[in-house]
Amino acid sequence: MLIIRFKHILDILYIMNKNHFFIPYFGNKRQEVEKIYEFVKDKLPNIEYIVEPFAGTSAFSYYLSTKHKGRYKYILNDNNKFIYKLYSMTTKEKEILKEELIALHRKIKSKEDYCREIKGWETDFIKYIFANKIYNIRPGLYPQGKNISEKSFDSIIDAPINDFLKSESIRIFNKDALDIYNEYKNNDKALIFLDPPYLIANNDFYKNPNVNIYEYLFENDIIKEKGYIILCLSNNWIIKLLFNKKKSYIYDKRYETTKKDIKHIIISNEKILNNTT
């Protein structure tokens, strides 16, 4: 029994160190989910719904599924229409997408070819996926010195998240995050995991980029919500001011690409007597 449990732990660590999603994605929390899980696990027995208004790669929900198979109902929302489309595609559609990506890849023999073929990647689904597959931090830039194999497109079909999408109870939306947040914020059986863009980020893929979650949270205290609210943010002075005296946990994060070390903070609406930063 101990050997089986140890193997299960190793399997989870392997899965989360490997990208579970279809494409590389800036802000992917797969290497942080264990810390987030440790912060929330005591609340999980009372939870039925896992809600991610800013789902992105759904790393948190995916990790919960590896720990608690079939336990929760997942509400996944992303305002990026291309990410939503990836989630919603059938297996056959993903197979066609893979072939289209390979066909585009075969057209490119030089930097000039790349710049010509990738033009308009911000608004074209195929080009968006292609650009993110081969250059994950700044899509659209030519990946000099990289030998891109056609096998890199296999993840469209065999990404671990495919099994999660097939096996769990999941509803997927392409709405503004606040619409989803407001729908579940007073559900005492819901854990709402908020992983919004950083304060200075600008996401042109949002249908309504003027909706600002930080302004909303400034005007609406999360302590008043009945749902269990969790935020995962970059730790800086303005975040500390915004969420002063909320239960929190600060941890170290390293960006693997840039090797830059920063600190992130997890914040919740648990009622406490003293802050635990």
Largest CA distance in the chain: 62
Could you give all domains of the chain from N- to C-terminal order, each with its CATH number? 2-86+162-268 (3.40.50.150), 90-157 (no CATH)
Asked whether the CA dihedral 245, 247, 253, 255 is positive or negative, the reply is: negative
Going from the C-alpha of 21 to that of each of 41, 125, 164, 195, 237, the distances in angstroms are 23, 17, 10, 16, 32
Contact 53, 217 (CB under 8 A): no
- DSSP letter string over 179-209? HHHHHHTT-TTEEEEE-PPPTT---TT-S-T
Contact 19, 28 (CB under 8 A): yes
Residue 22 corresponds to which tokens in the numbers above?
């279809």
Alpha carbon distance 50, 56 (integer Å): 14
Q: Tell me the whole-structure pTM to 2 decimals.
A: 0.85
Contact 142, 114 (CB under 8 A): yes
Helix axes 81-88, 125-134, angle to 10 degrees: 90
Per-residue pLDDT of the chain (277 residues), as tens digits, is 444 444 444 444 444 456 899 987 766 676 789 999 999 999 999 999 999 999 999 999 999 999 999 999 999 999 999 999 999 999 999 999 999 999 999 998 888 888 888 889 989 999 999 988 876 555 666 766 566 778 889 999 999 999 999 999 999 999 999 999 999 999 999 999 999 887 655 455 444 555 578 889 889 999 999 999 999 988 888 888 888 888 999 988 766 656 677 788 999 998 754 444 4
